[in-house]
Amino acid sequence: VSMPDRRTVGELLADSEALARETLLDATLEQAPAMVRSWNQLVGSAVELWAVLPSAPNSPSWSDPMERLRAIGEALSRSVTAGHWPGQGPTDEHLTQIADNLSHARHLVERSGRPSQSTTTDSPAVLQHAPGQVMHTLYVAAHGTVVALGAYAADLQGQVETAKRRRQPVAERPAALEVTEAQGMIARFDGFEHLAAAAYLAVATPPSLMNPGQAATPTKRLETALAAWEVQAHRTLAASPDPADLVRVARVQALITSTTSILTEAAATKGHIDADVIQRLAPSLEASQIAWSRMAKRWGELTSPASRTDPALVGAASEVRAAIAATATNQAGWATPDQLASRLDLPHIVKTLHLSMVASIEVAYVVRDTAADHPGLTAPARIIGMRSQGEAEIAIEQGETRYEGVTWTIRRQRASNQLIPLPEPARRGLINLADDVLATTNQAVAAGAQLDPSDVTRSTRSGQRAHLGRSAQSHQITHPRDPAPGGPRR
């Protein structure tokens, strides 16, 4: 019979932070797949605890930062459940223990709220710091997972290259696809880490350090709209989306990218950003905007007159559009740098947009998963027949033999332009477009690393593929621009 757990909420949270640090220090490549599998359980426990904690005094009023993280955790889980790397298998002991601690802490907080059942000796001050501790735990654990994944991908890449050099038969080589999939997972966890770091900073910043101008309405309105958009995009994409939803997601992301470009250039003109940053960033943002727009057009081919867009997505998109129109445009088009500087807290909003760009990588991964896995995708036979043939020909040129001689639609379907299930090559085309978005957006995130409010990117990214082959120094982690006067806890 196991002893009852008599730890207090404060002790459970401190233990969770310590375990997260251990996860980071002990991160090995063998653990990486298990850590990915455990992630959703960890985030789920954190979300449940977060919901019963008293709000942190400085938690951003514009949104619940945990909602963003929950959306990413669920998207990762769906991806794994759908059979993507690393697939089913064992989970990670450390992360599972943290999840158990957080769940137990939630029970204690819930019970302490009932008048006759005071079971915790935690003071109100302990609970006041709890949101920051939860967020910090997620941040450190995400970083540990990124480190383990980096080692895993680097090792696998090494095996692939060695096998090539030794001319091993292809069947005996490690799959190059697994390297790509592990690298993709690194990018997703990188995004989670940055968002958790920014949220941690937001809840842990002492009131005296808060910028009073942050309450200014246009800046706040845009921030609020962007945060609500990200969460809604994840919700819609998680619930069997219509191609019309995918079009809207891509169009809104393209507009956000253009706005990021305009506001960042204005910030540079006003001297808030180094000129060399904007020189690197501008072409990447342009490429990302083009990639999102291409994706929108291709998904548009899958819509039919009867297509509907999720009303909640329409609402969130409308608010993003309205906020951008009100803050970043004038009657002639985009607002001038002077106008933008007078309306917005430019240094602040540029950081927010950078964070939004980091979050958009996860949205792109979910779009990619939708293209790969959504069983209900259909499209009008005429256009999708042509599209499938075109994609099949490209694949055949690249050595794919399964598509040779295949007809994708039949005469009757074309005659009535019937809605037909999406053929594999058409899915492949959509996946390739998502990959373009991912490559260009990752490049933009790397180019704008100095704008990251958490400073995490500055230390860990030096280029698009900076996540590959992380070395031991990645095991060192400090609080992102730690605002706590006492430095890192524990």
Partner 1 sequence: MSFQRMDADTAETLAGVVRLLRRAAELVWAAADTEGAGSPRQVLALGIDLAADEARNLLPDAIAVQGPAPVGDEPAGLLRSAEQLLRRIDTPGAGAAVHGLRARVADLVWEANSGVDA
Residue 160 as a binder of partner 1 (CB under 8 A): the answer is no
Residue 356 as a binder of partner 1 (CB under 8 A): the answer is no
b/e sequence 42-74, b meaning 16+ C-beta within 10 Å? bbbbbbbbbebbeebebbbebbbbbbbbbbbbb
Residue 261 as a binder of partner 1 (CB under 8 A): the answer is yes
CB nearer partner 1, residue 42 or residue 324: 324
Residue 262 as a binder of partner 1 (CB under 8 A): the answer is yes
CB nearer partner 1, residue 308 or residue 490: 308
| Stretch near partner 1 under the rule CB under 8 A, chosen from 3-11, 95-103, 186-194, 326-334 | 326-334
| Stretch near partner 1 under the rule CB under 8 A, chosen from 13-21, 117-125, 305-313, 375-383 | 305-313
Cβ 366 vs Cβ 373: under 8 Å: no
| Stretch near partner 1 under the rule CB under 8 A, chosen from 131-139, 162-170, 332-340, 387-395 | 332-340
> Regarding beta strands 329-330 and 333-334, do their DSSP bridges make them parallel or antiparallel, or are they unpaired?
antiparallel
In angstroms, the CA 261 to CA 255 distance is: 10
Residue 212 as a binder of partner 1 (CB under 8 A): the answer is no
**φ, ψ of residue 333 in degrees (nearest 5):** 140, -130
CB nearer partner 1, residue 41 or residue 289: 289
Among the listed residues 311, 375, 486, 487, the single contact to partner 1 using CB under 8 A: 311
CB of 280 to partner 1, least distance (A): 16
CB of 333 to partner 1, least distance (A): 4
Residue 236 as a binder of partner 1 (CB under 8 A): the answer is no
Residue 332 as a binder of partner 1 (CB under 8 A): the answer is yes
CB nearer partner 1, residue 146 or residue 254: 254
Cβ 302 vs Cβ 377: under 8 Å: yes
Among the listed residues 289, 370, 442, 457, the single contact to partner 1 using CB under 8 A: 289
Output 88-93 pairs: Cβ under 8 A, ≥24 positions apart.
88/37, 89/33, 89/34, 89/37, 90/34, 90/37, 91/34, 91/37, 91/38, 91/41, 92/23, 92/31, 92/34, 92/35, 92/37, 92/38
CB nearer partner 1, residue 40 or residue 288: 288
Cα angle, residue 64 at apex, residues 62 and 67 outer, rounded to 5°: 135
Among the listed residues 75, 244, 371, 426, the single contact to partner 1 using CB under 8 A: 244
| Stretch near partner 1 under the rule CB under 8 A, chosen from 92-100, 177-185, 230-238, 254-262 | 254-262
Among the listed residues 129, 248, 351, 368, the single contact to partner 1 using CB under 8 A: 248
Residue 53 as a binder of partner 1 (CB under 8 A): the answer is no
Considering only CA atoms, which of 355, 54, 98 is closest in space to residue 201?
355
CB nearer partner 1, residue 302 or residue 477: 302
Residue 321 as a binder of partner 1 (CB under 8 A): the answer is yes
CB nearer partner 1, residue 155 or residue 319: 319
Cβ 68 vs Cβ 230: under 8 Å: yes
In the stretch 408-427, what mask flags binding to partner 1 with x, by CB under 8 A?
--------------------
CB nearer partner 1, residue 261 or residue 388: 261
Residue 405 as a binder of partner 1 (CB under 8 A): the answer is no
Question: Amino acid identity, residue 218?
Answer: P
Considering only CA atoms, which of 199, 254, 279, 291 is closest in space to residue 448?
279
CB nearer partner 1, residue 82 or residue 322: 322
Residue with structure tokens 């759908």? 82
Residue 290 as a binder of partner 1 (CB under 8 A): the answer is yes
Considering only CA atoms, which of 191, 244, 264, 210 is closest in space to residue 460?
191
Joined together, the tokens standing for residue 67 give 């909602």
Among the listed residues 63, 145, 232, 309, the single contact to partner 1 using CB under 8 A: 309
Residue 329 as a binder of partner 1 (CB under 8 A): the answer is yes
Residue 325 as a binder of partner 1 (CB under 8 A): the answer is yes
Cβ 250 vs Cβ 299: under 8 Å: yes
In angstroms, the CA 27 to CA 109 distance is: 31
| Stretch near partner 1 under the rule CB under 8 A, chosen from 34-42, 118-126, 309-317, 458-466 | 309-317
Among the listed residues 116, 331, 398, 401, the single contact to partner 1 using CB under 8 A: 331
Sign of the torsion angle spanned by Cα atoms 153, 157, 163, 164: positive
Cβ 280 vs Cβ 404: under 8 Å: no
**How many residues lie near partner 1 (CB under 8 A)?**
32
Among the listed residues 111, 308, 402, 490, the single contact to partner 1 using CB under 8 A: 308
Considering only CA atoms, which of 63, 71, 169, 133 is closest in space to residue 484?
133
Cβ neighbours of residue 71 under 8 Å, at least 6 residues apart?
Answer: 230, 231, 234, 235, 238, 362
The CA–CA distances, whole Å, from 439 to 187, 193, 287, 444, 445 equal 10, 19, 9, 9, 10
Cβ 179 vs Cβ 160: under 8 Å: yes
Q: Which residues make up the interface to partner 1 (CB under 8 A)?
A: 244, 247-248, 251-252, 254-255, 258, 261-262, 286-287, 289-290, 293, 305-309, 311, 314, 317-318, 321, 324-325, 329, 331-334
